A and B are shown apart, each in its own frame.
Chain A
């Protein structure tokens, strides 16, 4: 099994991700559609990530509660993907089944400059997709979206 600590340069990812966004851009009509595409691609990554993390951590039991699952995802899975745990995990005060995971510098948004005709694009839709994929794979279907906050951070919202 491949060592979890293996690294590549951030540049390599930046070029790849940028090219991926370009590819999808050429096939869609609006920034909204592009975010959906990134979300879709992210879901596949999420499902695979959960599989790999589960095998690597030799997990026997499935997380049963929503909070436990979100904690697992925002720490263990996040660490596996991004080398760090998520900046925070919060529960919404007004909506009982809504949670927020904060990530101040999502790797997807660090390198991609948005062309003006796609003004509202948030590349963290990719991360939101990954999150959705993980949760879905663990039988916690959720609506996950990415929202940019005034400080440069992005928070995938989960509605579990």
Chain B
């Protein structure tokens, strides 16, 4: 069952912010983006052969992207400190996904400790026109999990993000499970404080 961990008002504010920034972002035809990504996946499958290695490589590339993308996100959204992980998740879903990919994402299925939730993507521009052969263990859009992990790492949160449902694998929706593992202590900051 869905648990709302944020007030509707806050979440709506985030959705409005996401929409505002999306309107201002320079845009391009999704098709070119989609085909470029598709071509990359094909290349990785050719180069790496093993599907698990492709999944890992996509995640790794996403991680690298996330570490850079977070700067643009923070600069354009003006989001500063999220008071809790629920707010972080909502901001990712309503602001980040919206401004970069133009899609609406829902946050659901919180655990009792409020440290894990699911991001539901009904619409995934990466996967347009794609059909996967049956019984292939590829997480085609795994780059997204890496982006989330890389971006959050830059704001001192260590998370795990992984697909649990994927429309390309026959599910009705795309679901990324997002788990907070720990708040990373900023050792450099501690050093400065001591001096």
Contacts and interface: CB of A to CB of B under 8 A. Distances in A.
Majority secondary structure of chain A interface residues (helix, strand, loop or mixed): helix
Contact of A20 (B36, B100, B125, B129): B36
B72 to A, nearest CB: 6
A85 to B, nearest CB: 13
Contacts of A27: 47
Interface residues of B, number: 34
A13 B35 CA distance: 11
A16 interface: yes
Interface residues of A, number: 31
Contacts of A23: 40, 57, 61
A44 interface: yes
B114 interface: no
Contacts, number: 104
Interface stretch (A1-9, A86-94, A152-160): A1-9
Interface string B4-37: 0000000000000000001001111111110111
Interface in B25-60: 25-33, 35-40, 42-43, 47, 57
A16 to B, nearest CB: 6
18 contacts: A2-B30, A6-B128, A8-B125, A12-B33, A12-B100, A13-B33, A15-B68, A16-B65, A23-B40, A44-B42, A45-B32, A45-B36, A48-B38, A48-B129, A81-B31, A83-B29, A107-B28, A107-B32
Interface of B: 22, 25-33, 35-40, 42-43, 47, 57, 61, 64-65, 68-69, 72, 99-102, 125, 128-129, 143
Interface of A: 2, 4-13, 15-17, 19-20, 22-23, 27, 41-42, 44-45, 48-49, 52, 80-83, 107
